[in-house]
Chain A
Amino acid sequence: MRAMKTVPYFLAVLFAVVLGVTILSQAYGTGGISVSFTKVLGMTLCLCLAALAMDLVWGYCGILSLGHFAFFGLGGYMVGMWLMTARTEAVVRANMANNVIPPTEAEISQGTALQIFSVVGAEDWPWMWAVSDSLFLSLLLVVLIPGLLALVFGWLAFRSRVTGVYLSILTQAMTLALSLYLFQNDTGLRGNNGLSGLQNIPGVSAGQSYLSIWFFWASALALALGYVGSAWVVSGKFGNVVRGIRDDEQRVRFLGYSVEGYKLFVFVLSAVICGIAGALFYPQAGIINPDEIAPIASIYLAVWVAIGGRGRLYGAVIGAALVSLLSTYFTGGRAPDVNLGIFTIQWIDWWPVLLGLGFVLITLFAPNGIAGLFDKLVRK
């Protein structure tokens, strides 16, 4: 029940944040927050949602997946294909409008494909763009493709009883393989160029100041729904079984539960949540490329959850928000260098060291993360 009790508090804090950001926004408020920072905040909420998914699978079910950013990235790619197609098509259509002979639909489609794929020396639509002209189908793929990959991967891994560090390595291999595949120029997703111009929403004439706050709201809504849904999932008997699997898989199995089935359920659910988070993240980032799903990204996701506190949904959110915002601060060039006379600390280089140190300290002195410390305070 513990998780369900945190829901009202979480929603209240989230609502306060949304209200504050809206009041300070360019579009609806005083303009105290820049458009780009609004986007950073919106993206942070998406990362919090991904961390929530990570907490489900790791903190509650004990599966240390180090590949969940693959699902996040796939969600981004799925929505990115539609964004790029629709926007490029609009541009092509506008360019051809002045032609003496009005262009046929086939010509527009050809022109669009040429625009999109000439960077990788291609001019035809790859098969995986088959539904990129349909927003509805593309959004369906945001859920289906990460879910399907998780289903197939999880089925193979869990059925063979791969657990612990072996499973972690396997998930790293999965995300590495996917990113290497996407790096190829001929696989249809524009290789290392990735998909770009995603911040422009086709058919919407409002400027970025409006789009940024709308996406921020959407991200907050997704996080709120994700939180309530996750809390519901882990607070009932399902949560008892899943935590049982984390603590003693064998016991659960001999009680007659199909451990593999439960793991698969949680794995797929969390992959779908990550896919949705990614689909909201990349239109705010504006660009997605295969580097996003490099193995290190998924490791960061686990680090956030560890720092925030495993097995407490709000811990994952706190960890992701805190660390990713600090990371933006330190690597964004805004943190002042520290001059020690003979040596200058440049944060861009030293932030990973600081993060690593923080991670080690938390692991040693606060195994339940920031949320664990918080719990102690509340109980006193």
Chain B
Amino acid sequence: MSALLEVNGVSVSFDGFKAINNLSFSIGEPEMRAVIGPNGAGKTTFMDIITGKTRPDEGEVLWGEENRSLLRMSEAQIAQAGVGRKFQRPTVFEDQSVRDNLMVALKKDRTPWAALTYRGSDADSARIEELATEIGLLDHLSTTAGILSHGQKQWLEIGMLLAQEPRLLLVDEPAAGMSTEEREHTTDILVNAAKTKAVVVVEHDMDFVRRLNCRVTVLHEGSVLAEGSLDHVMANQEVIDVYLGR
């Protein structure tokens, strides 16, 4: 299994404060990976760097078989290359229907002209329904996204990621504010996605991470503190200090 994404020695500072410090990370395809770490560890910033939102001061981010550098690409180009991202706060198009949210996300030509002349096909409708079923929103296809519950918005956003057919999914705190059943459904969606894709999940909740049943990377002060199975990292004295010493 060769790496799909490789992050090497990346650092970034905000006004002299090092949010990411010489961080290296790599993930294959398919693979599920959980990234944990205390608040302010740099988890969101790490995703910002991969998706092109934040440019690192040093280091490299390599993508795919040809090891293309993502650092010279725009956010849109990175997304088109196959990186999908879910934000920490659920962000969906609130005044559009669930169907339209998914339709906009479907993997298609992204140029203005293509959008102007787009005519939905039966295959597209079928795909939208399939996605809606997976995220449990089949009955809400015509619902305006703004009136969905918090958990449903999170799912819709995950559904939009899946609609993009990315090779790598970056999912920032998907279970925040969810009930226990909702969390379980979320786990199912992610585990299912990880059968064919690389999935990186940032999460605080240890039970949630345990259910993902995958390799864990612990971030602390912008660097990787430990990596391995959940039990392995939780036995690490440094990790215990970081988590319990707060």
Chain B residues within 8 Å of A241, by CB: 104, 115
* A-contact 0/1 string along B75-94, CB 8 Å cutoff: 11101100011010001111
Q: How many residue pairs at the A-B interface have CB separations less than 8 Å?
A: 74
Q: Are B103 and A247 in contact (CB under 8 A)?
A: no
Chain A residues within 8 Å of B164, by CB: 255-256
* A-contact 0/1 string along B48-72, CB 8 Å cutoff: 0001010000000000000000000
Q: Are B92 and A256 in contact (CB under 8 A)?
A: no
Binds B, one of A32-40, A117-125, A231-239: A231-239
The residue of chain A having its C-beta at the shortest distance from the C-beta of B85 within the complex is A254
Q: Are B112 and A261 in contact (CB under 8 A)?
A: yes
* B-contact 0/1 string along A242-278, CB 8 Å cutoff: 0110011011111111110110010000000000000
Q: Are A240 and B104 in contact (CB under 8 A)?
A: yes
The residue of chain B having its C-beta at the shortest distance from the C-beta of A1 within the complex is B100
Indicate whether A256 sits within 8 Å of B93 (C-beta atoms), given known contacts A240-B104, A241-B115, A262-B112: no
- Most chain A CB neighbours (cut-off 10 Å) among B51, B85, B87, B116: B116
Chain B residues within 8 Å of A244, by CB: 93, 96, 104
Chain A residues within 8 Å of B160, by CB: 255
Say yes or no for B121: interface residue by CB 8 A criterion.
no
Q: Are A247 and B115 in contact (CB under 8 A)?
A: no
Chain B residues within 8 Å of A253, by CB: 75-76, 79
Q: Within B27-57, which residues are at the interface with A (CB < 8 Å)?
A: 51, 53
Indicate whether A255 sits within 8 Å of B112 (C-beta atoms), given known contacts A236-B118, A244-B96: no
Chain B residues within 8 Å of A243, by CB: 93, 95-96
Indicate whether A259 sits within 8 Å of B112 (C-beta atoms), given known contacts A240-B93, A243-B96: no
Say yes or no for B180: interface residue by CB 8 A criterion.
no
Indicate whether A255 sits within 8 Å of B115 (C-beta atoms), given known contacts A244-B96, A247-B93: no
Number of residues of chain B lying within 8 A (CB) of chain A: 30
Indicate whether A265 sits within 8 Å of B112 (C-beta atoms), given known contacts A236-B118, A240-B103: yes
Say yes or no for B74: interface residue by CB 8 A criterion.
yes
Chain A residues within 8 Å of B100, by CB: 240
The residue of chain B having its C-beta at the shortest distance from the C-beta of A241 within the complex is B115
Chain B residues within 8 Å of A259, by CB: 76
The residue of chain B having its C-beta at the shortest distance from the C-beta of A264 within the complex is B112
Chain A residues within 8 Å of B111, by CB: 258, 261
Q: Within A17-71, which residues are at the interface with B (CB < 8 Å)?
A: none
Q: Chain B's nearest CB lies how many Å from the CB of A236? A: 6
- Most chain B CB neighbours (cut-off 10 Å) among A248, A257, A259: A257
Say yes or no for B105: interface residue by CB 8 A criterion.
yes
Indicate whether A238 sits within 8 Å of B112 (C-beta atoms), given known contacts A247-B94, A250-B91: yes
Say yes or no for B210: interface residue by CB 8 A criterion.
no
Q: Are B91 and A256 in contact (CB under 8 A)?
A: no
* B-contact 0/1 string along A116-134, CB 8 Å cutoff: 0000000000000000000
Q: Are A248 and B91 in contact (CB under 8 A)?
A: yes
Say yes or no for B232: interface residue by CB 8 A criterion.
no
The residue of chain B having its C-beta at the shortest distance from the C-beta of A232 within the complex is B116
Say yes or no for B110: interface residue by CB 8 A criterion.
yes
Chain A residues within 8 Å of B85, by CB: 254
Q: Are B93 and A251 in contact (CB under 8 A)?
A: yes
CA distance A243 to B144 in the complex (A): 14
Chain A residues within 8 Å of B53, by CB: 250
Q: Which of A236, A254, A262 contacts B51 (CB 8 A)?
A: A254
CA distance A247 to B79 in the complex (A): 19
CA distance A262 to B115 in the complex (A): 10
Q: Are B76 and A237 in contact (CB under 8 A)?
A: no
CA distance A265 to B113 in the complex (A): 9
The residue of chain B having its C-beta at the shortest distance from the C-beta of A257 within the complex is B110
Q: Which of B51, B93, B110, B117 contacts A248 (CB 8 A)?
A: B93
Chain B residues within 8 Å of A254, by CB: 51, 75, 79, 84-85, 87
Q: Are B91 and A257 in contact (CB under 8 A)?
A: no
Chain B residues within 8 Å of A261, by CB: 111-112
CA distance A261 to B115 in the complex (A): 12
* B-contact 0/1 string along A184-227, CB 8 Å cutoff: 00000000000000000000000000000000000000000000
Chain A residues within 8 Å of B95, by CB: 243, 247
The residue of chain B having its C-beta at the shortest distance from the C-beta of A256 within the complex is B79
Chain A residues within 8 Å of B116, by CB: 233, 236-238
CA distance A255 to B103 in the complex (A): 11
- Most chain B CB neighbours (cut-off 10 Å) among A236, A243, A244: A244
CA distance A264 to B87 in the complex (A): 26
Q: Are A238 and B104 in contact (CB under 8 A)?
A: no
The residue of chain A having its C-beta at the shortest distance from the C-beta of B116 within the complex is A238
Q: Which of A238, A248, A250, A251 contacts B115 (CB 8 A)?
A: A238
Chain B residues within 8 Å of A250, by CB: 53, 87, 91
Chain B residues within 8 Å of A255, by CB: 79, 104-105, 110, 160, 164
CA distance A256 to B92 in the complex (A): 15
- Most chain A CB neighbours (cut-off 10 Å) among B93, B96, B110, B160: B93
26 A-B residue pairs with Cβ-Cβ distance under 8 Å, sorted by A, are A236-B115, A236-B116, A238-B112, A240-B104, A241-B104, A243-B95, A244-B93, A247-B93, A247-B94, A251-B91, A251-B92, A251-B93, A254-B79, A254-B84, A254-B87, A255-B79, A255-B104, A255-B105, A255-B160, A255-B164, A256-B80, A257-B76, A257-B110, A258-B111, A259-B76, A262-B115
Closest 3 CB pairs of A and B: A256-B79, A238-B115, A237-B118
10 extra interface residue pairs, beta carbon distance < 8 Å, beyond A240-B100, A262-B115: A237-B103, A240-B96, A241-B104, A243-B96, A244-B93, A244-B96, A248-B93, A255-B160, A255-B164, A257-B76
